[in-house]
Chains A and B, each alone.
Chain A
């Protein structure tokens, strides 16, 4: 395992239980700077809880999370300005326009030239036409691009994405993936991506972790996993793991 200071994310023996029910059962992993790490697993596997613990929204029952070398349990505030996230579990105020929402978040993240940053995001994410429309009046694709704009407003070194292309049409989803690839290259950002879309994971991720019942069932480079399981693609590997037919170590 890489040292916590060299990693964008370093998780050690991370566990979470709710009234005795185990959501995450002591997992270890790291994500290096510039790496895209996929977090896979069926519903209830513990992905969202893991991401929420990394973000500091959920306090772990045990273990530790270091983000960009900072202990999230003790000094979360030191690093929150350098990371960002997108998740279907949060939204932005619907009555505010896109520009107003981005202005608020730019202020919260300490962006120096707010107008220039919003103009840049509007250009990058094709939002110029909707900047002055209420966020609640946008289509699903537009909302996703606005959520991504919010997630990129501070040019984060670490981006946490929970189902970033869920419910999007293939064209818009592809457009988002392309933008994420470009952002990662340009900023050398680390990305933790939770997704059920295996084609998306194979395309974007350098490495994947497959979770099952709160534990890491398997992990590796997507192409290596596909070869190791003797399958045609990552989706078939995922099904093998989910149905309990994974390889014996």
Chain B
């Protein structure tokens, strides 16, 4: 059929709305899809609002010159990709309709989780290693110069990334592939609340306890302390580590619970939208 022929023969608004109705039905039936609509604009607004406030209050060029932003960006990406690397390997099995094969095999759920964690590390090394090296010639920022504290930062961020990924994977198992969007967006809540680019003090007082309950907040505060004053804050790292033990433990329980609920709901044999 020619392109001109596509413009002839009438245009049916009824057919358009029939298809629109199909998407509305899908949205109504999937709370993760609805949440995604609101979530991203809200996260963007809050993040950049607090960052603007920080920049307006801080006239100290040394603070910005020390690589606060690029260091924050690199570690933020590490956090995001540790979760995404886990979630993507998990989603690969959903997209391939391979989950039934895996869950029917002798593979135990915790072995599955361990394999996803390993793949998260592999993806991180492949994805972020070269980027961290590129930051040296491009911006004169050597994240590796942070030394041993960097390893502690990474460990804490990766652990939190896995905790989030475990909950997301459980929700996808339980709710189907319609919850896939959570894998791409959920971590962005940490961007404003985890104070990636500005100190916790920039947040309203009522929001600060919530922020401190997130392990990345301690990591990014620790990063800013090292970059701006050279001070190492073991108290912050211990706090992050203690929180991570709780988060990872709880997320494993939630994952196993949602897996069991999936068996009860029969969603493991109906892995569609």
Chain A interface (Cβ < 8 Å from any Cβ of B): 16, 18, 23, 48-49, 52, 55-59, 77, 80-81, 84-85, 87, 89-94, 105, 108-110, 150
Known: A59-B260, A77-B106. A150 touches B101 (CB 8 A): yes
Closest 6 CB pairs of A and B: A90-B100, A91-B97, A59-B263, A93-B96, A81-B106, A108-B105
Q: Please report the number of residue pairs spanning A and B whose Cβ atoms sit closer than 8 angstroms.
A: 66
- For B98, the chain A residues whose CB sits under 8 A away are 90-93
Q: In the complex, which residues 97-122 of chain B have their Cβ closer than 8 Å to any Cβ of chain A?
A: 97-108
Question: Complex formed: what's the CA distance from A56 to B102 in Å?
Answer: 12
Residue from the list A57, A84, A93 in contact with B103, Cβ < 8 A? A57
B99: chain A residues within 8 A (beta carbon)? 90
**Contact (Cβ within 8 A) B100 A58:** no
Q: Is the CB of B104 within 8 A of A80?
A: yes
- Nearest chain-A residue to B264 (Cβ)? A59
What is the bound-complex CA distance between A91 and B93, given in angstroms?
A: 10
Known: A52-B269, A56-B263, A58-B268. Contact between A89 and B105, CB under 8 A? no
20 contacts between A and B (CB under 8 A): A23-B266, A52-B266, A52-B268, A56-B104, A57-B269, A58-B263, A58-B266, A58-B269, A59-B260, A77-B108, A80-B105, A81-B106, A84-B104, A91-B97, A91-B98, A92-B98, A93-B92, A93-B98, A105-B105, A109-B105
CB distance from B169 to the nearest CB of A (A): 17
A110: which B residues are within 8 A, CB to CB?
A: 106
Q: Is the CB of A89 within 8 A of B101?
A: no
Q: Is the CB of B106 within 8 A of A89?
A: no
Q: Which of B101, B107, B108, B263 contacts A90 (CB 8 A)?
A: B101
For A108, the chain B residues whose CB sits under 8 A away are 102, 105-107
**A89 CA / B268 CA spacing, docked (Å):** 10
Number of B interface residues in the complex (CB < 8 A)? 22
Once the chains are docked, how many angstroms separate the CA of A94 from the CA of B92?
A: 10
* Chain B residues within CB distance 8 Å of chain A: 92-93, 96-108, 260, 263-266, 268-269
Establish whether residues B96 and A91, one from each chain, have CB atoms under 8 Å apart when the complex forms. yes
Question: By the criterion CB–CB under 8 Å, are A57 and B105 in contact?
Answer: no
Least Cβ distance of B257 to chain A in Å?
A: 13
The docked-state distance in angstroms from the alpha carbon of A105 to that of B96 is 15
Contacts A89-B97, A109-B106 given; 9 further ones with Cβ under 8 A? A18-B266, A49-B266, A57-B269, A80-B105, A80-B106, A90-B97, A91-B96, A92-B101, A93-B96
Q: Which residues of B contact A23 (CB under 8 A)?
A: 266
Q: Which of B96, B263, B264, B269 contacts A89 (CB 8 A)?
A: B269
| Contacting pair A87 B100 (CB below 8 A) | yes
Q: How far apart are the CA atoms of A91 and B107 in the complex, in Å?
A: 17
For B97, what are the chain A residues with a Cβ–Cβ distance below 8 Å? 89-91
Please, which residue of chain A has its CB at the minimum distance from the CB of B97? A91
Please give, as numbers and ranges, the residues of chain B lying within 8 Å of A94 by CB-CB distance: 96
Closest A residue to B260 using CB positions:
A59
Q: State A189–B260 Cα separation when bound (angstroms).
A: 30
The residue on A at minimum CB distance from B108 is A77
Contact B107 A92 (CB under 8 A): no
Enumerate chain A residues within 8 angstroms of B269, measured Cβ to Cβ.
48-49, 52, 57-58, 89
Chain A residue numbers with a CB within 8 Å of B93 are 93
Residue of B whose beta carbon sits closest to that of A136 = B96
Q: Which residue of the partner chain B has the closest CB to A57? A: B268
Given contacts A57-B269, A58-B268, A92-B96, contact A105 B101 (CB under 8 A): yes
Q: How many angstroms between the C-alpha atoms of A130 and B260 in the bound complex?
A: 37
Closest to B271 in A: A89
- Residue contact B265 to A18, C-beta cutoff 8 Å: yes
Cβ-closest chain B residue relative to A91: B97
